[in-house]
Amino acid sequence: MRSRLGVEMSSLGDRLAAASIPEEWQKRKTWDGTNGELCTGLIEPVAEFTELLVRAGWDPEKVEILGGVNQWFKETPKGELASYFFKVRVKESSLDLPTLYAAAKRRPRKAVAGPRSDRTTVVVLSDVQAGKVGARGGTPELVERLADTRHKLEQHLAKVKPSRTVLAEGGDLFEGFESGGNPMFTNDLSLAQQMDLAGAEVFEFVSILARYGHVDVAAVPSNHTAWRRGKQNLGRPSDDLGLHVHRQVALRTEALGLDAEWHYPRDYDESMILDVGSTRIGLVHGNQFSPGKAPEWWGKQQHGGQPVGSCDILITGHYHHLTVMPSGRNPYTGKAKWWLQAPTLDNGSDWFRNIAGDDSDPGLLVFDITEDGFDLTSLTVL
């Protein structure tokens, strides 16, 4: 990504830039997302170094210059021009997550009483991407959106009164910093804060579902939460940092005595299955295939004898929009198989909107499974 700092340079500055700026600086004229070095080119001298950040389009409240600024000046017929070389970093967030959560609370939760239905309600939490900033806001807006969604979920569960629940977490639980783009300057939380917020959100959803008895939590690795260096994945799929967050939440729920059980893929797998009665649910993030290619990928998994090959319902995330499509048929029961692409709950993917002109509403996918299998009429987005 080319530096945005070389703006409004005089035509003379344009002609002299390559010849006048020290050679070792010329190599650093483009943004380097690894070490954060920038050279401005020849511009009018600035009175305050924070002006360099403003010219680059960054907020000095969120981004700061690391260390000193190297300056080089050039006398021209039109006056003095300057070139600046410096490093930048994101400031530590000042957000107070406990305060935000206190503000997002709606009302005390009460124990559920009375008879239950024979239904299992499946809640698909996908692509939360905690810490991400977009057109729909930052962390305060995300926390508020998720609190509103949980309130709607409580109302929905009160009507269904399921005897069992499943929380299927479809991946990208937090934004991370190694997923591509420029998350170093579009996140408002550090990595530790992202993981802390993501864990708190998972716990909030599990604690609501636990009011209706046993909760099965299914979680899979994903591209945003992978342990990686740049585009290079490190370790096994099971070393995913999102799965690490789930393990910490599992410890907390166990200490509190909540009836919740976690399910993960095998160490070298990225997908998993969960049996709900006679219906088998498959879960995978979706970065394993191109847009719209889930049924083709699913068919190959079945042919290769992979875990999700035998599932009746395949749940995927990653692509941020709702898709409900039949795909194949169970040869033993004769019932249709279904692909459910979950919507996102994040703050928006503006890079995609700017390229494709498309955007989708955030939402929480919810559906029921009965003794007869997948109840299509129960499917809703909260």
Query: Which value, to the nearest 10 degrees, does the dihedral of the CA atoms of residues 102, 104, 107, 112 take?
Result: -110
User: Helix 191-209 to helix 241-256 angle, to the nearest 10 degrees?
Assistant: 50
Task: Return the ∠ at Cα 237 (arms to 236 and 243), rounded to 5°.
Answer: 120
Exposed/middle/buried for residue 367 (C-beta within 10 Å: 0-12, 13-18, 19+): buried
Separation CA 320–CA 342 (nearest Å): 7
β-strand pairing of 164-169 with 120-125: parallel
The 10 Å Cβ neighbour count of residue 380 is: 13
What is the residue whose two structure tokens read 């810490």?
A: 131
Say which residues have a Cβ less than 8 Å from residue 302's Cβ, sequence separation at least 6. Answer: 309, 310, 328
Say which residues have a Cβ less than 8 Å from residue 296's Cβ, sequence separation at least 6. Answer: 289
**pLDDT confidence of residue 95:** 61
* Strand, coil or helix: 268: coil
Encode the chain (382 residues) as per-residue pLDDT tens digits. Answer: 233 333 333 333 343 344 455 555 454 444 333 455 677 777 788 888 888 888 777 778 777 887 788 887 878 777 888 888 877 776 665 566 775 666 555 555 566 878 889 999 999 999 888 888 877 778 888 888 898 899 999 999 999 999 999 999 998 998 887 765 555 557 888 888 888 889 989 999 999 999 998 999 999 998 888 888 877 888 899 999 999 999 999 998 888 888 999 999 999 999 999 999 999 999 999 888 788 888 898 888 888 888 888 899 999 998 878 889 999 888 888 888 999 999 988 655 544 454 555 556 788 999 999 999 999 999 999 9
Q: CATH 3.60.21.10: which residues of the chain? A: 97-381
**pLDDT confidence of residue 182:** 54
Separation CA 319–CA 233 (nearest Å): 20
**pLDDT confidence of residue 210:** 93
Say which residues have a Cβ less than 8 Å from residue 257's Cβ, sequence separation at least 6. Answer: none
Separation CA 132–CA 183 (nearest Å): 8
* Strand, coil or helix: 108: coil
> Per CATH, which fold does 97-381 belong to?
Purple Acid Phosphatase; chain A, domain 2 (3.60.21)
**pLDDT confidence of residue 243:** 95
CA-atom Rg of the chain in angstroms: 25
The 10 Å Cβ neighbour count of residue 330 is: 16
Do the beta carbons of residue 161 and residue 115 sit within 8 Å? Answer: yes
